[in-house]
Every structure is written in C-alpha cells, then in structure tokens.
Structure 1
Amino acid sequence: LKLLDSHLVPSSTAPESKVFYLKMKGDYYRYLAEFKTGAERKDAAENTMVAYKAAQDIALAELPPTHPIRLGLALNFSVFYYEILNSPDRACNLAKQAFDEAISELDTLSEESYKDSTLIMQLLRDNLTLWTSDISEDAAEEIKEAPKGESGDGQ
C-alpha cells in the first residue's frame, strides 16, 4: 500500500494505469476489511471506498465500458458493496450497469481484450444471478417472518 501511495499512483499518467493502481489499492484495503474488526474494519472499508471511487471516476470518463480494467473494477467494487458493506442492492445495480453498458458496446471490443472482457462479464453475470437469488430468498424469509395480523379481535 505504501508503494502504491508513494510511487505507483502518483507517477502514473495514463488513465489505464491510474485506474489499475487505484483498483489495486482498493482491492488491498478490501482484503484488510475482510478480516479486520471494529474501527480497523471501518477504516479499511472507508479506504476501499475512496480508492474504488477514484478509480471509477477515471474509468467512467476515460475507458470504454468493455475495457477489462474498467470491468474488473466494476466486478470488485460490486463485491465490496455486497460482502463488506452488506448492500446487495448497490452491488447488483453496479454490476448490472457495468454488464449492460459492456453488452451494448460489445461490437467495439478489441480482439486482444475480447477474452478478458467476456470472462469478467461472465463473472459479473454470475454474481448478479447469485445475488438476485439471495435477495429473493431474503425477501421470502421476511414475508414468512412478518408478524401475522391480529385475528378475531372482536370489534
């Protein structure tokens, strides 16, 4: 992390490199957030958010939706929302938006990144399938656990 902060991020000028290193920084903080507790977990999660957000701002402005680094960022950022922030709705929205934008520009995909991009798109779709089924199960559980209306209260 020190190397990223002191050398790699500041010295990278190409948007692709900047996004790559900021994503890496977010990934490392996310890994810390996975096993830290209390204030350390909160700090790691905040640092993850800052790094991913900075990477996303550049990626959305500078990289095409089919770029493997942009797609990889969307994949990891959505996993962060789902696993660390317990926010399945935000995770699904981010993954779906990235997938849909990439699908709409699939014909512009360069041959060299075709395999990488389509693999990451498949992972985004797999996560969406898994997460939406989890959300559906959770909703079904909430319905089952909802308090039943009072019956026979004799008005």
Structure 2
Amino acid sequence: AERYDDMVASVRQLAERNIELNVEERNLLSVAYKNVVGARRASWRVLSSIEAKEGEKSADDKVDKIKAYREKVEAELEDICNELLRVLETHLLDNDSTPEGKVFYLKMAGDYHRYLAEFAVDGSDAKKRSLQANQACAKYEEATRVAARSMDEGVKKEEQGLPPTNPIRLGLALNFSVFYYEIMNKPSEACALAKKAFDDAISELDSLQEEQYKDAT
C-alpha cells in the first residue's frame, strides 16, 4: 500500500522488543525508513534549489517563505534520522549476534548520520555538519572492520567477517565512498575505496555459486 509512515511505526515497535531481527525483518526496517527519509531528502533538494534561484532574484518575501518550508522539512528529517539512530543503538546493535546483522546496522547508522550531515549546510550548522560527518565516518569504519574480520574456519561464526562478495559488504563500500565524495569532498579517497571493494570482490567471483553470483553482481 506504500504507506511508509505506518510501516515505520510497525517495524519500530518490532525493533523495540529487543530481539534479533531476521533478514526479512531487517530489510523491512531498511525499506521503511529509506522511503520516509528519501521522500523528504528529495523535497529538501528541490526546496534548496528553488530558494537559491529566488535568492538570485532578490525576491525576499518568496525566499523567506521557501526557507521556512525548507526548515520544516529539515526538522522532520532530523527527527526521523535521530529516531532510527536511537533504535539502532538502543535495541538492535547489541541484540544481533551475526556479523551480517552487525555490518547491516552499523552501515545504516553511518548512512543516517550522513543524511544529517547532508542538510546541515547553513553557515550556522557547520559544527553540526562536522559532528555528524565524524559520527558517520566512525560507524562506516567500524562496519568495515567487522566486515573485514577473518573468515577462517577456526574462528567462531559470530566473530567472523563477511566475504568480499557479500552484498551488504559491497553496499557498505559503496555508501562509504559516497560519504567521502559528497560529504568530505574527497573524490580520490572515494574512488580508491570503491575500487578496492570491486577488485576484492572480482577476485572471488569465480568461486561463487549461481545464486550468490547474482546477489553480488
């Protein structure tokens, strides 16, 4: 029914039961928040663009109204992102014993700190942007460390990492590179990170079964 606000309320209630979510439940959590945040991120970009164009025309009255509406969207975005980050930290990360779950949630935390940094662009928001960028980077780095842990058979399953071809690990590398490019303005680091993930995955593609190959590519 595409009623994503209702979906968010339902999956949040599930997460707050302090249980380990299965793969389907994790994906529902991701889809729900991605859609409610994605719609507002798109609105914010449009409003910011219109505000800039009207500002060039010195249309102060219009600019004030557009700015007020943009700030309303920003407040909604901030509330939703902070809500999810609270759910991740309080209910999900400590209750998931699987490497895949840990990386999934840490990646999500990095993503939503990145979104908070994304719209903190006014001069007065410089400290907020820096804080959120640092927190996003810390979550992405922690997720990367977990994903890159040894896959040796002698290591306990819950202490293992993820293979380079794992879709969650690949998605982490992609989003971390987007963070470097868009938030940190470091295109060289972004390209290097994405290239390493690609090269590591390519080297193992031949050993995958057909279904795993489809997921990785």
Structure 1 residues 28, 113: closer, same or farther in 2, change over 3 A?
farther
Aligned to 1:50: 138
Q: State the one-letter code of the partner of 2:102.
A: K
Report the secondary structure of 1:42's partner residue. Answer: helix
Q: Which contiguous aligned blocks of 4+ residues in structure 1 show a shift greater than 4 angstroms?
A: none
| CA displacement 1:97-147 (0-9 Å, x = unmatched) | 0000000000123433433321xxxxxxxxxxxxxxxxxxxxxxxxxxxxx
What is the aligned partner in structure 2 of residue 134 from structure 1? none
Task: Report the TM-score when normalising by structure 2.
Answer: 0.53
Query: 2:209 & 2:118 partners in 1: Cα distance?
Result: 35
* Corresponding pairs, count: 118
- Specify whether residues 75 and 14 from structure 1 end up closer, same or farther in structure 2 by C-alpha distance, changes over 3 A only: same
Aligned match for 2:213, one of 110, 114, 136: 114
From the superposition, tell whether residues 33 and 107 of structure 1 become closer, same or farther in structure 2 (CA, over 3 Å). Answer: same
How far apart are residue 12 of structure 1 and its match? 1.0
Deviation at 1:49, TM superposition (A): 0.5
Residue 45 of structure 1 and its aligned partner are, at CA, apart by 0.3
Could you tell me which residue of structure 2 aligns to residue 122 of structure 1? none
Q: Hey, what does 1:152 align to over in structure 2?
A: none
Name stretches of at least 5 consecutive residues in structure 2 with no aligned partner.
1-84, 150-160
For residues 28-69 of structure 1, the C-alpha deviation after alignment (integer angstroms, 9 at most, x for no partner) is 111111101311111110110111011000001111000000
Q: Percent identity?
A: 60
Q: 1:33 to 1:110 in 2, by over 3 A?
A: farther
Distance 1:20 1:113 in 2: 18
The residue number in structure 1 matching 2:90 is 6
Structure 1 unmatched runs, 5+: 119-155
Q: Distance in 1 between matches of 2:187 and 2:97?
A: 34
